[in-house]
């Protein structure tokens, strides 16, 4: 067997594990969220029930701030913005840029402007590697990294 055949055999053997590892790494956040939603798992001969508290702790750990920073965050001190126009998005960005979490209430906006603002906020947190969590209908909290 020559070197080319040996190399081809290595590629054949390693291509699937590398591909699967790449997919898992690429979709790790989505998979983490989906796995965090599993409450009970039943299979033939096996049954597992997951503690809801553990799932909530995992969600909190993914919120985008370390434990020390999270303990310093008080919802009483967190700015709350209820924009009436899309042009007020700048205020949200300024708080976020200053590494301050911000609560955004979109209930006073028209649906079209609310969708635009959600897109703006999603881009903001994606760029900074922070997080955006839904607190209730049309109310979000943006947490910087």
Return the sign of the alpha-carbon dihedral for residues 106, 112, 117, 118. positive
Q: How far apart are the first and last CA of the chain?
A: 53
pLDDT category at 66 given cuts 50, 70, 90 is very low
Instruction: Say which range, 28-42, 74-88, 91-105, has the weakest mean pLDDT.
Output: 28-42
User: Which is higher by pLDDT, 65 or 80?
Assistant: 80
Q: Using CA atoms, how far apart are residues 141 and 132, in angstroms rounded to an integer? A: 6
Task: Name the average pLDDT for the chain.
Answer: 80
The pLDDT of residue 75 = 66
The boundaries of every CATH 3.30.110.150 domain in the chain are 65-145
Which one of 2.40.340.10, 3.30.110.150, 3.30.420.240, 3.40.462.20 gives the CATH number of domain 65-145?
Answer: 3.30.110.150
pTM: 0.49
Burial of 42 (0-12, 13-18, 19+ CB in 10 A): exposed
């Amino acid at each position: 067997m020559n070197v080319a055949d040996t190399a081809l055999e290595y590629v054949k053997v390693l291509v699937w594990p590398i591909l699967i590892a790449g997919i898992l790494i690429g979709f790790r956040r989505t998979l983490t969220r989906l796995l965090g939603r599993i409450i009970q798992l039943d299979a033939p001969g096996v049954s597992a029930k997951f503690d809801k508290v553990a799932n909530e702790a995992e969600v909190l750990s993914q919120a985008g701030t370390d434990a020390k920073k999270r303990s310093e965050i008080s919802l009483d001190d967190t700015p709350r913005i209820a924009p009436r126009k899309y042009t007020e998005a700048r205020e949200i960005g300024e708080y976020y840029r200053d590494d301050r979490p911000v609560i955004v209430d979109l209930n006073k906006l028209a649906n079209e402007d609310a969708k635009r603002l959600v897109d703006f906020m999603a881009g903001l947190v994606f760029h900074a590697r922070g997080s955006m969590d839904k607190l209730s209908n049309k109310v979000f909290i943006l947490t910087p990294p």
